[in-house]
Amino acid sequence: MARPLRLEFAGAVYHVTARGNRKERIFLTDRDRVVFLKKLNDTLDKYSFLCYAYCLMGNHYHLLLRTPRPDLSRGMHYLNASYTNWFKVKHKLVGVVVQGRYKAILVEEEAYARTLAAYIHLNPVRAGIVEDIDRYPWSSYPSIALGIPSRLERLDTSFVLGLFCPDAAAAPKAFAEFVRGNEKMESPFKDVKKGCVLGSKDFVEKVTARVRAGGRIREIPGTRIASLDSTKIEALIAKIAESFGVEKDRLFDRRKNNRYRQTALYLLKKHSPLKLKEIGDLFGMDYAAVHAAIKRLDKLRRREKAVEAMIIKGSGLNFSTFI
């Protein structure tokens, strides 16, 4: 049986879930959940994803995401790989942690976002983990409904709240009442079409037409970013140099211990969707050399205040504007 296609479009909204291998737990402690949310936050930053809702269970997680660029697969690979590597080291495990491929459903937000916002947050209630949804701390529900600061720094609560009431003050209560009033809702995924689209017949037809207009329907990486805008990348490099107060050429100086160059590599790795090889191509370096330079700088930042200052300044740039 063929696996469902992965459809990736700029501005698309997805329900994403991944499970532990053989349904085993991927969160053993609260520390695991904290680290996962940090890794998720890094992913949102690096790929400019917007996270509207999340729920961490014992052996799986749910996310409601929007991707400004068609690069969901790259972001999810980064998230799952970085968390898996940490989890295996922390718990002294070998082998597979996350089962196979993550599952992504392309969502028609006008028709299903409200339902999904409730369904995702009701997971702990359906599983019998808690009776009162307010008492589950590992989802975005407390932040959206109760205004409690989120453990996920880049959580966007305004999207979900806006689905329920245009009045910002009244929206949290309207959202909470909707969720509590639908504790026995049926799974919205019974309406999934073509294995990966949740929406009306018109929405499915529009998605199908959009894919056909782009050529053959292919799996990722065929539908992801085919190339990167070199003009925008050049502008970003110039902006990074400007934040350091130096000419752009200083970033490409190959002399040993060039902190400007090392910091630029670090910033591109942390805040942009570029892969190590792509960063290496920009700077005329092997991807392994890029990785080594970034590791060295990460240690140096703790000892050299000037390096830490450059990282903080460069991190303030809006990378999504350029890439």
Residue where a domain stops, chosen among 165, 186, 213: 213
Q: What is the pLDDT of residue 323?
A: 67
pLDDT in tens, 187-218: 999 999 988 999 999 999 888 887 777 654 44
**Residues of the chain scoring pLDDT < 50:** 1-2, 216-227
Asked if 181 and 290 sit in the same domain, the reply is no
Is residue 235 in a domain?
yes
Per-residue tokens: 186 = 């049926």
pLDDT in tens, 77-104: 999 999 999 999 999 988 889 987 899 9
Distance (Å, whole) CA 317 – CA 244? 12
Q: What is the pLDDT of residue 5?
A: 58
Asked if 280 and 199 sit in the same domain, the reply is no
Q: What is the pLDDT of residue 215?
A: 53
Is residue 2 in a domain?
no
Is residue 141 in a domain?
yes
CB atoms within 10 A of CB 46: 21
Residue 72: CATH number of its domain:
3.30.70.1290
Domains of the chain: total: 2
Asked if 135 and 274 sit in the same domain, the reply is no
Asked if 118 and 245 sit in the same domain, the reply is no
Is residue 218 in a domain?
no
Distances, alpha carbon 159 to alpha carbons 74, 156, 172, 187, 191, in Å: 24, 6, 12, 22, 23
Asked if 252 and 147 sit in the same domain, the reply is no
Is residue 1 in a domain?
no
Distance (Å, whole) CA 292 – CA 223? 31
Residue where a domain stops, chosen among 157, 185, 213: 213
Q: pTM value?
A: 0.79
Is residue 7 in a domain?
no
Distance (Å, whole) CA 301 – CA 296? 9
Asked if 208 and 240 sit in the same domain, the reply is no
Is residue 221 in a domain?
no
Residue 273: CATH number of its domain:
1.10.1750.10
Q: What is the pLDDT of residue 84?
A: 95
Is residue 180 in a domain?
yes
Asked if 185 and 241 sit in the same domain, the reply is no
Strand arrangement, sheet containing 197-198: 50-56, 60-67, 12-19, 103-107, 197-198, 192-193
Residue where a domain stops, chosen among 184, 213, 242: 213
Asked if 186 and 256 sit in the same domain, the reply is no
**Which residues form the domain of 167?**
12-213
Q: What is the pLDDT of residue 225?
A: 35
